[in-house]
Amino acid sequence: MNKIDKLKKMKCGKIIENIDLVKYTTYKLHTIAKYMIFPNNIEDLKKILNFVNENSLKYKIIGGGANLIFKDKYYDGIIIKLDNFDELVIDDTKIKVGAGYNLIKLAMKTCKLGLTGLEFATGIPGTVGGAIYNNAGAYKSDMGYIVESITVLDENLEIKTLYNKDLKFHYRTSLLKETQKYICLNATIILKHGKLENILEIIEDRKSRRLMTQPLEYPSAGSVFRNPENNFAGKLIEEIGYKGKQIGGAMVSLKHANFIVNIGNATGEDIITLINEIKTKVKEKYNIDLFLEQEIVD
């Protein structure tokens, strides 16, 4: 019996073999993953992680795939998706939500209840867990402002609670991203009561701004680079003449230079080559090191 047959016998979630990740990443790259597994609960997840660790198997836990660039066309490992971690309990302004819950869906649901604090997330694709991992944000707000605590699995597969002060939220990063030691299982988010008409007005205004300034007509993963202090990555990329620059099926957006878009059958290699060229040119011209906001998966 091979390793994956043993994993199937453990019955710890649905397993799909040789799955195209085009539907599971916002760049819509055609990467085939050897296996994808959907654990049903925390105990299933523990079993899977024990198994992959004991057998030295390659694996990656992903949310909505909104910040990921798979380097190759084949991922020789296991993708773990926490879609079944989707519980939601709303108790006045306190929200307990699973890591696999869709972030836009949560933002829209809470906003329509007259709760304020998540308006910034109504245009950010991905899951709650992924948003916390990346400290996703927009319009001068982010997850660090609203997360009270999270439940995690640590590197010893023990369940722990981490509080906001523990999570080291900074611009587009967190303790989870920096250490890679914890897996977010669920979160407690604190919002505030607001006026529904004001909340909906903010959402509509920001939707209009996104449509005008972001290339939403093409697959992308949002901002490619973090903004340097007192500067803008998009401005620097434009100034080196890379707006509209194309490699293979990947192109620097004509609408916003800090977006790389898939204009047709882009590969991870196309996107990464473009990223590396931009970093080199900006460093040469301005002596600024652009910091990648997206994650390259080997």
Which residues are known catalytic residues? 172, 223, 293
Q: CB-side exposure of 173: number of CA atoms within 13 Å?
A: 16
Alpha-carbon Rg of the chain, whole angstroms?
Answer: 20
Checking 133-137 for CB contacts under 8 A at 24+ apart, the result is 133/63, 133/174, 133/176, 133/177, 133/184, 134/67, 134/172, 134/173, 134/174, 134/177, 134/293, 135/169, 135/170, 135/171, 135/172, 135/173, 135/174, 135/177, 136/103, 136/172, 137/171, 137/172
Distance CA 21, CA 27 (A): 10
Separation of alpha carbons 235 and 278, rounded Å? 12
- The DSSP element (H or E) to which 3 belongs, if any, is helix 3-9
The identity of residue 110, as a single letter, is: T
